[in-house]
């Protein structure tokens, strides 16, 4: 287990380093906002190709990595829609974005959803599927959450918002992990993640109060999902 954990953490850190390297390069070169997004797109595309090659060597069909059709219920679709819309509803839409920036953001977030879910859900589960499901869900959620906390926190943000963002990142990782474990299909999780990031990126900065309300409601929704969803979707033989 220890060697497996180190291998998975190493892959996660590699992703973070590549993204950081490309982001730093965009700053050094002094590119525009769209240029910075293009650098990040290139980084995620490079890692996406690596992950596809890595998974193909293990299973040419990719079925063991969740590339099979899933079954999203109406209730699950409603939950995803709720989560995706919370930030823009509370903070509003950023209408200052140009069409070119909007298109680049959509492409970037699709790649982010693919790369992060393929790594933290598909590959993590591939190596941990013989363990208790709690091990997979907790481990993948914690690694996902910590790396997002380390790369996404704003030191100028209010302490209360920082604490909520930390809780939010860990809980969201749990939601993605549980969703993949129960459906065994990565498509639903990639779509969920990509839509969440797209709408979050299109949201206006908002006031402190608006952000506190949005992040609080998101955290409550994630916690409710983690408590309620297993009772209906996770098979009794492998119950959590």
pLDDT for residue 154: 58
Closest listed residue to residue 111, CA positions, set 99, 119, 122: 119
pLDDT for residue 156: 61
Report the predicted TM-score, pTM, of the whole model to 2 decimal places. 0.91
pLDDT for residue 238: 45
Closest listed residue to residue 166, CA positions, set 187, 142, 188: 142
CA distances from 214 to 78, 165, 175, 205 (A): 18, 10, 17, 12
Give the count of domains, the chain.
Answer: 1
Question: What pLDDT, in 10s, does the model give residues 96-141?
Answer: 999 999 999 999 999 999 999 999 999 999 999 888 888 999 999 9
How does residue 197 score in pLDDT terms, banded at 50, 70 and 90?
Answer: very high
Domain ranges, residue 111: 2-238
Across the strands, what pairs with 203?
Answer: 93
pLDDT for residue 153: 57
Return mean pLDDT, the chain: 90
pLDDT for residue 239: 44
| C-alpha to C-alpha distance for 117 and 191, rounded to whole angstroms | 10
Quote the tokens at residue 66.
């969740």
Q: Summarize the confidence of residues 169-191 as an average pLDDT.
A: 93
């Amino acid at each position: 287990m220890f060697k497996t954990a180190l291998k998975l953490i190493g892959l996660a850190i590699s992703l973070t380093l590549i993204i950081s390297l490309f982001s730093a390069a965009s700053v050094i070169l002094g590119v525009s906002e769209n240029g910075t997004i293009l650098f990040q797109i290139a980084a995620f595309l490079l890692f996406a190709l690596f992950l596809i090659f890595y998974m193909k060597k293990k299973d040419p069909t990719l079925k063991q990595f969740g590339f099979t059709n899933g079954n999203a219920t109406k209730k699950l679709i409603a939950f995803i829609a709720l989560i995706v819309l919370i930030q823009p509803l509370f903070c509003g839409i950023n209408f200052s974005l140009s069409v070119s920036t909007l298109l680049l953001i959509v492409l970037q977030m699709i790649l982010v959803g693919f790369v992060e879910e393929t790594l933290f859900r598909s590959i993590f589960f591939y190596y941990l599927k013989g363990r208790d499901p709690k091990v997979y869900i907790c481990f993948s959620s914690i690694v996902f959450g910590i790396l997002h906390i380390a790369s996404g926190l704003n030191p100028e943000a209010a302490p209360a918002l920082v604490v909520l963002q930390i809780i939010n990142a860990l809980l969201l990782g749990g939601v993605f992990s549980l969703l993949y474990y129960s459906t065994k299909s990565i498509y639903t999780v990639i779509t969920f993640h990509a839509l969440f990031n797209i709408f979050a990126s299109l949201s206006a900065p908002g006031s402190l109060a608006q952000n506190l309300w949005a992040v609080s409601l998101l955290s409550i929704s994630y916690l409710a999902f983690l408590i309620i969803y297993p009772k209906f979707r996770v098979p009794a033989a492998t119950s959590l």
